[in-house]
Structure 1
Amino acid sequence: MRAIQAGNTFNIFDDSIEIYEELPARTYSVEYSDMKGCYLSLHSDLEVNEKIYGVHEQKAEKALTTFGILDRGLGIILSGDKGMGKSVFARLLCKKAIGKGIPVIIVSECVPGIANFIESINQECVVLFDEFDKTFDTCRGQDERDEQAQLLSLFDGVATGKRLYIVTCNEIYNLNDYLINRPGRFHYHFRFDYPEVSEIEEYLRDKLQPEYYSQIKDVVAFSSKVNLNYDCLRSIAFELNLGNSFAETINDLNILNTSKKSFDVTLYYENGRMLHRYSCSMNLFMNEGDDLWITMYGEKGLRIAEVKVDRTKIEYDVANNASVVKANGLYIDYVDPDDEPDVNTYKNLKPSYMTIEKNGMRNLRYTV
């Protein structure tokens, strides 16, 4: 029997109870009950059982090095679309932390008193908030309090105890305004973008059997029109290894053309002049026979021409990671020169080719 005293209250436990000065370097999850409030429950350690692509290893080491140097808490935001590797990175960082003797605490739901409970853990630890934008939702009615706001003081880094906070989110615009651009609260913000051509090729060569390497070029060409995350690539590789063609694979997988995509379009003339169309919403997978028309603009931002694209002539340029249409696949209908005098500048030029480049989310980083 063990008797534990808290103030004037004694609780009786059996001999299996163990008392620690600090939490052992294990993984825990925050649980809640109306009777006990918040408490920790042992959670299986987070493992990384697959190859890590990109700069994940270096970023994880950088974060832990910074945490070791600081005399206060450190916050890290991991943002990007679903299936981009945020959770893999979080697991990698947590695994490395446990290897350094730092326990990991997972917060997977918003419960009463969570901020005070975490602040009561007065030792170095990692606190992981997975899918924070959903778990602590700010998009509530005015009668509801902002669930993220209650944690702001905790994230300030001046509370008792030194903690490494990791927040993953799919949509950064669902985060509280006082979390973004506040390096005092969250020192790092690691963005996870769609894999580039080299990363797609590396991934598929790792996952595919050699006899199916010939289909990699089809996947890469498809990725120039559609954003493919690692979840998509994993499923595609699985199907190709079964001997299915890429066309059959895309037709059967849960990868659907649910909306128009945004592209940057440039029409090049042989003398170097160009027409542009930025962030053009179009569907490159229209039914056969449907016309694809693109309005093109000149250097002064004036409408110059309507260009009809023969979709059967669209080719993929691996070197530039863009779809290319040569001049014989373009029909150019210039606007009336009486309406736009600059049109005459282009009408007498010979078109060379058009590029269609996938336009992703605008770059959130400053270029210096």
Structure 2
Amino acid sequence: MKAIRIGDKYQVYGDSLQAYDSIPPYTYNVRFDEMTGFYLKARSKLTVNEKIYGVHPEKAEKVLKSFSMFERNLGVILSGEKGIGKSLFARLLAGKAQDAGYPVLVIDQFIPGISNYIQSIDQEAVFLFDEFDKTFGGVRPGDNETDPQASLLSMFDGTADGKKLFIITCNSLHKLNDYLVNRPGRFHYHFRFGYPDIKAVQEYLVDKLDAEYHSEIPKVVLFSQKVALNYDCLRAIAFELNLGLPFEQAIQDLNIINMGSERYDVVLEYRNGMALVAFNVSLNLFATEHPKYLWLEDEEERSVACVEFDPRMIKYDESRQISLVPGEKIKLSYNDHLEDPTIVQKFKDMIPDYLSITRVGEQQLHYWTGTSDNKQLGRNRRVFQSRHNEVPF
């Protein structure tokens, strides 16, 4: 038997009772009982049992190093679409935090009063809010109740004793409180997770596919340049290909469907290095019954030529790492109505090399500083940077 005193009250427990001066460095779910209030329920450690693609380990180490140096709370936002690595990174970071001696508290549901409970924990700890925009952004406060997200703002600020590492994952930034985004005083880091690029798609498929099916990889890479594929999609595709199905057949039965037009950057490269462009245009490259027509502009935003191409002629060029239509497979109609006819004549005298077609990702959230993973497209965008939504300094 164990007797516990709280103030002037004594409670009797069985011999299994254990008392700690601080929360042991394990992983817990935060739960609530109407009779006894908040409590922690032990759960299995958050681990990652698969290969991690990208720079996740380095960023996780960076967060923990920063937390050890901070004299106040440190916040990390992990945002992006579903299936592209947020939860994997959160598990990785939480696992490393536990290894470093921090207890990890997972908060996966909104409970009124949870802010006060968290603030009552006066030791260094990690708090993981999974799908924060759903669990805290999708709750409507009752009469005379504070908005769930707003009720946490002062807690996120926190200073001094018992500093905390707050990690929140979210799919939709629009559902986050305005006082969370662009507030590095509350959330120092914001890691935005995008869809796998060409290199990541290739690496993933090389790892997951049996060697005899590696010949299907270029088909998937080309497809990923037309459609945004997350790791859930790639996992499903790899499974089907390992059954011996060609990609063209495998994709027909998967829950990956054509939802209409995507947006693309289209660049006509001439052999002398000149280019005409059409940025952020809407195209349905799977509607192949008719050719596609696009007006292309020069650096002065003059409509110089109309290009016609058949989407079925698009191929993936491994040397350039882009999807393109060879110059000999396109048709050009030049605009003879420009005020200065020499401009059009200049392009008429050039030889088209290829037409590159690159799917446009979501708007770049962090400020661009002049570097790009896609060197070819990066060069073209620097030439026409006034038309693009990235902001170079």
| TM-score, length of structure 1 as denominator length | 0.92
Relative to structure 2, which stretch is displaced further, 179-188 or 276-285? 179-188
Report the secondary structure of 2:264's partner residue: strand
Partner-residue secondary structure (3-state), 1:23: coil
Match of 1:84 in 2: 84
Change (3 A) 1:21 1:357: same
SS of the counterpart of 1:324? strand
Counterparts of residues 348-363 of structure 1 (less than 5 Å): 348-352=348-352, 353-363=354-364
Q: Give ranges in structure 1 of 5+ residues lacking alignment.
A: none
CA–CA separation in structure 2 for the residues paired with 1:155 and 1:4: 32
**Identical residues among aligned pairs (%):** 49
- Paired residues for 1:11-26 under 5 Å: 11-26=11-26
CA gap of 1:170–1:324, structure 2 versus 1, over 3 A, is same
- Between the aligned partners of 2:340 and 2:9, the Cα distance in structure 1 is 87
2:218–2:316 Cα contact (<8 Å) kept: no
Contact 1:115 1:151 in 2 (8 A): yes
The answer for the alignment partner of 1:250 in structure 2 is: 251
Could you tell me which amino acid in structure 2 is paired with residue 48 of structure 1? V
Q: Which residue of 1 aligns with 2:315?
A: 315
Aligned length: 367
- Given the superposition, is the C-alpha separation of residues 68 and 159 from structure 1 closer, same or farther in structure 2, using an over 3 Å criterion? closer
Partner of 1:281: 282
Residue 389 of structure 2 corresponds to none
The residue identity in structure 2 corresponding to 1:98 is Q
Q: For 2:295, what is the secondary structure of its paired residue?
A: strand
For 2:109, the aligned partner's letter is E
Residue of structure 1 equivalent to 2:290: 290
Q: Equivalents in 1 of 2:26, 2:166: separation in Å?
A: 16
- Structure 1's 341 and 10: CA in aligned 2 closer, same or farther, altered over 3 A? farther
Map of 1:60 onto structure 2 = 60
Q: Once superposed, what is the RMSD of the aligned Cα atoms?
A: 2.3
Distance 1:90 1:214, change over 3 A: same
**Secondary structure at the counterpart of residue 279 of structure 1:** strand
Deviation, 1:185, is 1.1
Partner of 1:333: 333
Paired residues for 1:1-368 under 5 Å: 1-137=1-137, 145-158=146-159, 160-286=161-287, 288-335=288-335, 337=337, 344-345=344-345, 348-352=348-352, 353-368=354-369
Look up the equivalent residue of 1:82 and give its one-letter code: K
Deviation track 1:28-71 (CA, whole Å, cap 9, x = no partner) reads 11112333332211122112111112211111111111111222
**Contact 1:334–1:343 at 8 Å: present in 2 too?**
no
Range moving further from structure 2, 94-103 or 297-306: 297-306
Query: Quick one: structure 1 residues 115 and 198, their matched pair in 2 at CA, closer, same or farther if it must change by over 3 Å?
Result: same
Structure 2 vs 1, CA of residues 328 and 241 (structure 1 numbering), >3 Å: closer, same or farther? same
Distance 1:308 1:149, change over 3 A: same
Deviation of 1:11 (Å): 2.7
Greater shift after overlay, 155-164 or 248-257? 155-164
Distance (whole Å) between structure 2 residues aligned to residue 141 and residue 266 of structure 1: 50
1:2 deviates by 2.6
> C-alpha distance in 2, partners of 1:214/1:338?
47
Q: Is the 8 A contact 2:71 2:160 kept in 1?
A: no
Q: CA deviation at 1:120?
A: 0.7
Task: Give 1:292 shift.
Answer: 1.5
Shift of 1:320: 3.0
Deviation at 1:78, TM superposition (A): 1.2
Q: Is the 1:27–1:44 contact (alpha carbons within 8 Å) kept by the matching residues of 2? A: yes
Q: CA deviation at 1:177?
A: 1.8
CA distance in 2, matches of 1:250, 1:292: 23
Distance 2:133 2:14 in 1: 41
Q: Secondary structure at the match of 1:308?
A: strand
SS at match of 1:161: coil
The question of whether the paired residues in 1 share the 8 Å contact of 2:60 and 2:93 is answered with yes
Secondary structure at the residue paired with 1:15? coil
User: After the TM superposition, which segments of 4 or more aligned residues of structure 1 sit over 4 Å from their partners?
Assistant: 138-145, 338-343
Q: Is residue 141–residue 147 contact of structure 2 (8 Å, CA) maintained in 1?
A: no
Residue 295 of structure 1 deviates from its aligned partner by: 2.5
Shift of residue 272, structure 1, vs aligned partner: 3.9
What's the TM-score, normalizing by structure 2?
Answer: 0.86
Inter-partner Cα distance in structure 1 for 2:135 and 2:187: 18
Q: Which runs of 5+ in 2 are unaligned?
A: 370-393
Task: Report SS of the residue matched to 1:200.
Answer: helix
The code of the aligned residue for 2:238 comes to: A
- What per-residue deviation string (whole Å, max 9, x for no partner) do you get for residues 133-187 of structure 1? 1111168699784321111111113264111111111222322221122221111
* Mapped partners of 2:138, 2:162: distance in 1: 27
Q: Deviations over 1:197-252 (max 9, x none)?
A: 22222211211111111111211121121122111111111111111111111111
